[in-house]
Structure 1
Amino acid sequence: MALLKKINQILLLLLILTVCAILYNKVHKASSALRNEADDLESPKEMEEEIPVVICAAAGRMGATVAAISSIYSNTEANVLFYIVGLKNTIPHIRKWIENSKLKEIKFKTVEFNPMVLKGKIRQDASRPELLQPLNFVRFYLPLLIQKHEKVIYLDDDVIVQGDIQELYDTKLAPGHAAAFSDDCDLPSTHEMVRSVGMQNTYMGFLDYRKQAIRDLGISPSTCSFNPGVIVANMTEWKNQRVTKQLEKWMQRNVEENLYSSTLGGGVATSPMLIVFHGKHSTINPMWHIRHLGWSPDTRYSEHFLQEAKLLHWNGRYKPWDYPSVHTDLWENWFIPDPSGKFKLTRPDS
């Protein structure tokens, strides 16, 4: 009897241990499921791919930078990280502007650009000295300034984004291409504007084909040009192809041989890119770069066309924060006044 009693006690103990193990297993699984569910609920923004957008903040036109950032931030739910590039003396101003306005919630980093990297590489040109400002060449040095991203968007400051920047970021780059641009011949709706203001949209308008170095490139002067004010770039390809070094080489040759100038296509940053990226770039959806809004104080696009546009670019002399200019209402919708009062809009009644 004593032995039977002992066996029963052992069996009872085993039964109790089995029940406890089953209960523990069920509780553990339930808590694990709850934890995983909580992780799923809290992390979509954290897990979402970061979209790096590079934009410059130049002295005298920081209002443009702010308006561009405001338009991007307001029209997307994407996880955007703004890289705001400036010179040493301009960075404190733009930082205070953002931190003391409704843009204080954006994710941004300020990056100082050292103009000494351009020493001896820019040919002085008196016709449009504003085009020789160091920040015009930031796009040449993207991998040196932005190092942790595979894909980067670069935007000129004189743009307004009306679409979701995620769509631009999703632009497909062909294998082996370091960048995508918008071709100047790609949108028939803009051709009348180009003709009316005398804009050039071929290589002939940017490079001096009287020079042997240009003829030796073997590029037809009637080849359609592209505008590097909006770029989607692959940093790995850019570095592997030593794009920055190639651009610097053509800048140096221009200093020595005067191969292009601002009196041709209206800029000195475009020409080296036309050379280096000829036949080696992908294409951006043309509605993501409607340009020439700053080429005439009188010529306008139709309101319907501009409403359909994803990105507006006031490239040219007539900027929307100055006077005269066109379609200023579309730009001013996104402008945020400078809390310090240093930057002011120029208007006919001011």
Structure 2
Amino acid sequence: MKGYGAGGLSAAAQQAAKRRWKGQPAAVFVLVFFSLLVPLVFLLGLQNRFPSGYLADVRSQQESNFDTYRNVTREQEQISSKDVPHVPPHVPPPAEELNKRIKETLVSPTSQLKNYSSQARGGELKSNGPIGVGDGKPSHDTVLSVYETDRSCEHEFGSYCLWSRRHRRVMKDSIVKRLKDQLFVARAYYPSIAKIQGKETLTRELKLNIQDHERMLSEAVSDLDLPSLVGKKIANMDKVIAKAKSCPIDCNNVDKKLRQILDLTEDEAHFHMKQSAFLYQLGVQTMSKTFHCLLMRLTVEFFKSPASKVEHISASKSVDPSYLHYVIFSRNILAVSVTINSTVTNSEESDSIVFHVITDKQNFYSMKHWFVRHSYGNATIHILNFDELKSNHVSNLEFGEMSMSEEFRISSHTTSQQTPLQMGTKYLSVFGHSHFLLPNMFKDLKKIVLLDDDVVVQKDISFLWNLHLGGKVIGATEFCGVKLGHLKSNLGTAVYDSNACAWMSGVNIIDLEKWRELDITGVYGRIVDQLKQENEAQWRATALPANLLAFHGHIYALDNTLVQQGLGHDYEVSEDSVKDAVTLHYNGNMKPWLDLAIPKYKNFWKKYLTRDERYMEECNVNP
């Protein structure tokens, strides 16, 4: 037989066997090498003491869209060179020291923001020039003032930063703070003491005291949680630290260790700020369990009790141009009910009012049943399903889901030096893409008043119907704190007046006939197509430049006293201004139906909230 020689194997087979034998040791060597390398990398990571969760921090700019202002305590904290904060990396630092470190950390410039982006009812733009309204130029002597630090913090973290400072709790547990300070110093001295010959006893004492402190702090949050022997432990640690300080050691080594612990603590604080801001935004933009319960209960009850009769009565008025037609886009039952109730309550004649509430298919039946259960004066309320309207009215504009008014946080430099310290923020709200179907939705109407669902009407606004717009398409309040020239990097190559002011949605009177004549919807669609869109967020973000350009030269400026803006982000609006305003606009993230709402403005919204609703009580809805 072939293949077998005197030794039982051919020469070729023997050579192959030798090659396999030589390859096996090489493979074993590689496995051993990597088995040693992986634990080594892990141990080095522990030695550097990465903060828990920090490695997973992408540090994206999604956080930049968390757009809610809060008032800030204007107290500048003096940092003494003798009073170094002593906080171990893995133990939560004291609130006072943490906030001090956060302020200093946020002074440094962060990663650049995208030109513009958009999320659910929120976006962020970066302006090219200074915005002059309300942004005073800071002097060189106050570069590190609390005001400017607040600006840089707000630029990076959005309004969550100011909200968190408004609600921060100063640490009052002095004994816990004392333990943390001692632990901070002991850890700084320990590496240097351990290297000194003849100090083995002191090294052992220092190590045991560090372990005792770590054990107590791992089980205690407040002074009441500490064991009864804590006083003795503190005294022992003081003695050991005094001994360590008396040893002849290199101060540079202690200084390096202190700086290392401080840097790691700052990094951990920054990570937790980002994490908290994300959770804050999650709470702002997601529907709570109680609201979802209310939505489901109303939807189920609708199919148990049809409202065909009421719909028939509503349909008879919905196309009559002699009535006063108000249009509201909303997915929020409570929000739209407050807007409607406040408008009707303060109207001299509610018989002539027709509300067209446009919502999506998810909320359509719950909306219908809510307004069957509740009447608001003699006003007629007509509920429309946007998804049906979209399919019936084809446009060049590519429509997705129903979009509300889009809100954008504008970041601008207040001085020529472009650093985060000089960043100011303003809020703009404009029409969403869905609003540009209005002329097709209401073909029989000549004029409408468009209200956002975060608007409260405090006085009769029927005078808007008597305004002569002078050939303009919409009446809106202008916001000259932001001019088109400030947004030139976002407006493309279009021709426009750089000194023209931006305008705000919220309360708008619209001449639908003029809109159709000028084909504003077509112009808007072409502008959106020209702007670069790589994803849904950028597609929604085009709403701002497209709105400003499509209506450029077609805005009738309403009196700014008509609408009090900023109640969803600005703590500095005076109560008298709120009381005297014709309408209130809660633009910003801090909507009045949220727990995060600004308390002193919330009551102006709650006074028009529908009461005695059984489903609200069963679902524990109590905004």
TM-score (structure 1 length as normaliser): 0.67
User: Of residues 290, 296, 301 in structure 1, which corresponds to 2:573?
Assistant: 301
Aligned-partner Cα distance in 2 for 1:274–1:100: 40
Secondary structure, aligned partner of 1:201: strand
Letter in 1 for 2:592: P
Distance 1:210 1:49, change over 3 A: closer
Flag structure 2 segments of 5+ consecutive residues without an equivalent: 1-319, 409-430
Secondary structure, aligned partner of 2:356: strand
Secondary structure, aligned partner of 2:376: helix
Residues 192-250 of structure 1: CA distance to partner in whole angstroms, max 9, x if unpaired?
A: xxxxxxxx622356x4x236x62432431x53110122221111111111111111222
Letter in 1 for 2:452: D
Could you say which residue in structure 1 is the equivalent of 2:372? 99
Residues 71-109 of structure 1: CA distance to partner in whole angstroms, max 9, x if unpaired?
A: 001111231110110112212111211221243742121
Letter in 2 for 1:174: G
Distance 1:63 1:233, change over 3 A: same
Larger radius of gyration: 2
Secondary structure, aligned partner of 2:501: coil
Aligned-partner Cα distance in 1 for 2:324–2:563: 18
The alignment's C-alpha RMSD in Å is: 3.5
Distance 1:271 1:163, change over 3 A: farther
Check whether the contact 1:131–1:268 (CA below 8 A) recurs between aligned residues.
Answer: no
Distance 1:119 1:280, change over 3 A: closer
Could you say which residue in structure 2 is the equivalent of 1:334? 608
Letter in 2 for 1:69: I
How far apart are residue 62 of structure 1 and its match? 2.0
Query: Which structure has more helix as a fraction of its residues?
Result: 2
Distance 1:180 1:240, change over 3 A: same
Aligned-partner Cα distance in 1 for 2:396–2:513: 26
Aligned-partner Cα distance in 2 for 1:268–1:49: 35
How far apart are residue 255 of structure 1 and its match? 4.3
Matched positions, count: 268
Flag structure 1 segments of 5+ consecutive residues without an equivalent: 1-46, 125-129, 186-199
Aligned-partner Cα distance in 2 for 1:91–1:105: 22
User: Of residues 529, 537, 550 in structure 2, which corresponds to 1:252?
Assistant: 529
Higher relative contact order (CA 8 A, sep 6+): 1
Distance 1:329 1:313, change over 3 A: same
Could you say which residue in structure 1 is the equivalent of 2:353? 80
Could you say which residue in structure 2 is the equivalent of 1:241? 518
Distance 1:155 1:121, change over 3 A: same
Distance 1:119 1:49, change over 3 A: closer
User: Of residues 203, 214, 217 in structure 1, which corresponds to 2:484?
Assistant: 203
The 4+ residue runs of structure 1 with deviation greater than 6 A are 116-120
Aligned-partner Cα distance in 1 for 2:363–2:608: 21
Aligned-partner Cα distance in 2 for 1:89–1:256: 27
Check whether the contact 1:227–1:270 (CA below 8 A) recurs between aligned residues.
Answer: no
% identity of equivalent residues: 21
Aligned-partner Cα distance in 1 for 2:326–2:463: 13
